Chains A and B, each alone.
Chain A
């Protein structure tokens, strides 16, 4: 490697390259061993899960478990609920984060540390402690606020058909990812010039945001949305402890009676995550090649 980097300007003598003292083939061996072990460790569970789901009781092959997913009770309901929660979370998290990130970059840099802290805390605080706090608020609320309008609000946010309280909690969990993604996206474009040009041409601030900044941030916003969706589709702790039947909670609930189906759904949900993240990385690649 020493003779390859441009900084080292020793005249290259043909024929001396193979004589590299102290760099035998040994590194190849450990690299091969490490990669092989990693491949075994990471692939075996995936393959074994698939085998587990297609193994029929009479030692045959059958894809019934995957068919049963769709007919299992509660599948459609819980998946739709999780997707709905995901959509609502994405909308709110973008509406809250985008203006804040733009404002901090353009006019109020002094607020950046505050924003950083607010968007880091949810990473430090484990979700289970967050849900401990939320469930206490929901339990105490009715005791202390029974005579105020807040009481109705607390009941309303816990509607099992569409639990707004989960959306609120997920927005908090998604804030760090959305903030990082949008801040990085904004760093890649010259916001100041763009917005000043638009302002000089007479555009209003909402107009600048919607027609100038947002179109330039499309892939960063897509990235934030994908991460949020993956987070909501996989979130178990908060939903289970507040007793809402979201998709991961449903998988857990059916595992007792239908072991094969629950493993099939697990494989299925890994595929969903895989697709989401592939979409995310290809969106990122498109932006890199575009700029």
Chain B
């Protein structure tokens, strides 16, 4: 094990991966950073200030708002669904829901948007059958997009919390009951505190997923809902003032900072939940 020959040899097997990551991932990120602080060839913070003003700021806030809403709603609904499945005596139901969750959590992007447009869009099946159009229904707004994002977020939450719920030992509930605790007290003082890291971790994953989503929003709402991913895509495809192209890079940097801050909360949490739930 302390064999230095094996050690130095093994190190070479890691090198191709690291070199690849540095070139393909590191270089674009460095260029992104450099471009953010460059305007028309000279160093400047103008891109960053512009990205935090006006319509760009609105889009950044819009993205954070919808992601937070999806994360909280998806977290709560996903947990209830997971609890319903975990406490069920039917093994087939559990297996079925977990398999379906695995598929639906990966059902994002353009196909998801089209499935919902066919359902609740202006000429969607449900819209026309129920005559929702006459009551002012529209899928192409903030709430419609939230409804659609929940379609992959809730299954993701189910996948994340089922292992944690499985880890809640029946003995804990029995101990609480023997000490005279009510169901509410059990959840308030035992269940939720033990589950908190796992639940928060799941909520953060959902936030990240909704925050980075671009394809669904692009195919569904175009630009009628202000989202930072749509603004970046707009700017990248040339829809900006001449000389302001690097605003797209500044907006990207803003996104990375937000996503990084959120993830920074997640990683320590994951370690904490691993301690209780084995």
A126 touches which of B119, B173, B237, B259 (Cβ 8 Å): B259
A61 smallest CB distance to B (angstroms):
13
**A187 and B46 alpha carbons, distance in the complex (Å):** 50
Evaluate contact between A124 and B35: CB separation under 8 angstroms: no
**Between A and B, how many residue pairs show CB distances below 8 Å?**
252
| B123 closest partner in A (C-beta) | A259
B179 contacts the other chain (Cβ, under 8 Å)? no
**A130 and B99 alpha carbons, distance in the complex (Å):** 31
A255 contacts the other chain (Cβ, under 8 Å)? yes
Evaluate contact between B17 and A2: CB separation under 8 angstroms: no
B21 contacts the other chain (Cβ, under 8 Å)? yes
A234 contacts the other chain (Cβ, under 8 Å)? yes
Evaluate contact between B21 and A118: CB separation under 8 angstroms: yes
Evaluate contact between A125 and B259: CB separation under 8 angstroms: yes
| A131 closest partner in B (C-beta) | B236
B156 smallest CB distance to A (angstroms):
13
**A268 and B97 alpha carbons, distance in the complex (Å):** 21
Interface centre among B11, B107, B150, B255, by most A CB within 10 Å? Answer: B107
**A238 and B117 alpha carbons, distance in the complex (Å):** 23
Evaluate contact between A49 and B115: CB separation under 8 angstroms: yes
B52 contacts the other chain (Cβ, under 8 Å)? no
Evaluate contact between A205 and B182: CB separation under 8 angstroms: no
Given contacts A107-B7, A128-B214, contact A48 B103 (CB under 8 A): no
Evaluate contact between B7 and A108: CB separation under 8 angstroms: yes
Residues in B45-85 with C-beta less than 8 Å from chain A: 80-81, 84-85
**A140 and B109 alpha carbons, distance in the complex (Å):** 29
Digitize A6-47: 1 where CB-to-B-CB distance is under 8 Å, 0 elsewhere: 011000000000000010000100110011001001101110
B17 touches which of A49, A107, A118, A266 (Cβ 8 Å): A118
| A30 closest partner in B (C-beta) | B84
A193 contacts the other chain (Cβ, under 8 Å)? no
Evaluate contact between B106 and A230: CB separation under 8 angstroms: yes
A278 contacts the other chain (Cβ, under 8 Å)? yes
Evaluate contact between B13 and A52: CB separation under 8 angstroms: no
Evaluate contact between B111 and A42: CB separation under 8 angstroms: no
**A252 and B117 alpha carbons, distance in the complex (Å):** 13
Digitize B77-109: 1 where CB-to-A-CB distance is under 8 Å, 0 elsewhere: 000110011011000010000011011101111
Binds B, one of A66-74, A79-87, A164-172, A214-222: A164-172
A63 smallest CB distance to B (angstroms):
16
Evaluate contact between A121 and B25: CB separation under 8 angstroms: yes
B170 contacts the other chain (Cβ, under 8 Å)? yes
Interface centre among A99, A128, A175, by most B CB within 10 Å? Answer: A128
A34 touches which of B9, B13, B84, B182 (Cβ 8 Å): B84
B174 contacts the other chain (Cβ, under 8 Å)? yes
Q: Which residues of A contact B154 (CB under 8 A)?
A: 38, 41
Evaluate contact between B24 and A168: CB separation under 8 angstroms: yes
| B33 closest partner in A (C-beta) | A133
A97 contacts the other chain (Cβ, under 8 Å)? yes
B10 contacts the other chain (Cβ, under 8 Å)? yes
Q: Which residues of B contact A278 (CB under 8 A)?
A: 99
Q: Which residues of A contact B3 (CB under 8 A)?
A: 107
**A265 and B109 alpha carbons, distance in the complex (Å):** 13
Given contacts A128-B255, A134-B28, A248-B215, contact A108 B10 (CB under 8 A): yes
Evaluate contact between A96 and B255: CB separation under 8 angstroms: no
Residues in A223-247 with C-beta less than 8 Å from chain B: 230, 234-237, 240-241
**A104 and B17 alpha carbons, distance in the complex (Å):** 12
**A2 and B25 alpha carbons, distance in the complex (Å):** 54
A269 contacts the other chain (Cβ, under 8 Å)? yes
Interface residue ranges, A against B (CB under 8 Å): 1-2, 4-5, 7-8, 22, 27, 30-31, 34-35, 38, 41-42, 44-46, 48-49, 51-53, 55, 95-97, 99-100, 102-104, 106-108, 111, 114-115, 118, 121-137, 140, 168-169, 171-172, 175, 205, 230, 234-237, 240-241, 248, 251-252, 255, 259, 262-263, 265-267, 269-270, 273-274, 277-278, 281
List 8 additional A-B contacts (Cβ < 8 Å) besides A124-B259, A132-B32, A270-B103: A5-B174, A103-B11, A103-B13, A104-B14, A107-B6, A128-B232, A237-B215, A277-B103
